[in-house]
Each structure stands twice: as C-alpha cells, then as structure tokens.
C-alpha cells in the first residue's frame, strides 16, 4: 500500500519560511517524480511544484517561482518543499503526490497517490 505523509505545516508570519516534508512508502520512491499542490478555502486545488525522479527537472507555479524550492532525498524516501518569503496568499492545505512515472508534471491527473495534506497559514 502506497502512503504519503506530509509534515512541517503551521502558522508563520508573512515573510517567514517553512519547510514541508513528505515521506513515501510502498513504492520505489527513487523511480518516480513527485509534486506539491495546494488548496485554499473555496478554491480549486492548484499545482505548486514538481521534481523528476532524477532531480534534474523541475516545474514551479509562477506564483511561487523564486520563493519555493522542491527537493528530494532518495535515501530517506522524502520530498521537501522549502518555502521562503511567504505571503498571505500562500495560505492553503498543501498536498504531496507521487507521479505515475518519473517525469515532472504540472497535471494533477497524472499523480497516482496523494497525502492527507498539511495546513500552512500565513499571517500578516
């Protein structure tokens, strides 16, 4: 059974930083691309960042480019999202997901399994 468990969310002031983690089990993590998505109240789930299985290809939403960094540690079966310069509009539940293959992608329908989400709240 494939499981994804996010951690690292919380309350932070605008301009601050958080690092989200997502631990994966039940699938050979190093062979698959990973992604982060988020959903704010009353909004559709949106793409945030994606990283290929080799770690050599990334995609970012324009809204987070230059502030967020996705990375992975294959030895720990974990993907990270470093979030700097947080803004109020970054407030959302953040989800990690594992892709159906190794290619980074912005499309949510290409991801097989999802975590339960972790809340990030940015205050002004």
Q: Rounded distance, CA 104 to CA 58, Å?
A: 6
Q: Give pLDDT tens digits for 15-27.
A: 999 999 999 999 9
pLDDT of residue 48: 98
* Residue 2 binned pLDDT confidence (cut-offs 50, 70, 90): very high
Q: Rounded distance, CA 41 to CA 2, Å?
A: 27
Q: Give pLDDT tens digits for 74-119.
A: 999 999 999 999 999 999 999 999 999 999 999 999 999 999 999 9
CA dihedral 37, 66, 63, 29 (to 10 degrees): -10
Mean pLDDT score of the chain = 97
Residue in the block written with tokens 């980074």: 104
Please name every residue paired with 79 in a beta bridge, in sequence order, or none if there are none: 22, 72
User: In sequence order, what are the residues at sequence separation of 6 or more whose Cβ sits closer than 8 angstroms to the Cβ of residue 74?
Assistant: 29, 30
Cα-to-chain-centroid distance, residue 120: 12
- 24 token code pair: 């994966």
What sign has the CA pseudo-torsion 42, 46, 49, 53? Answer: positive
Provide, rounded to the nearest whole percent, the portion of the chain with pLDDT above 70.
Answer: 100
Q: Rounded distance, CA 45 to CA 41, Å?
A: 10
């Amino acid at each position: 059974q494939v499981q994804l468990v996010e951690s690292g969310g919380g309350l932070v002031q605008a301009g601050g930083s958080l690092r989200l983690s997502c631990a994966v089990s039940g699938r050979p993590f190093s062979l698959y691309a990973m992604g982060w998505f988020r959903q704010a109240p009353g909004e559709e789930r949106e793409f945030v960042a994606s990283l290929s299985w080799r770690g050599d290809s990334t995609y970012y939403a324009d809204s987070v480019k230059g502030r967020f960094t996705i990375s992975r540690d294959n030895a720990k079966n974990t993907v990270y999202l470093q979030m700097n310069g947080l803004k109020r509009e970054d407030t959302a539940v953040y989800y990690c997901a594992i892709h159906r293959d190794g290619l980074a992608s912005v499309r949510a329908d290409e991801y097989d399994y999802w975590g339960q989400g972790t809340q990030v709240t940015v205050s002004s």
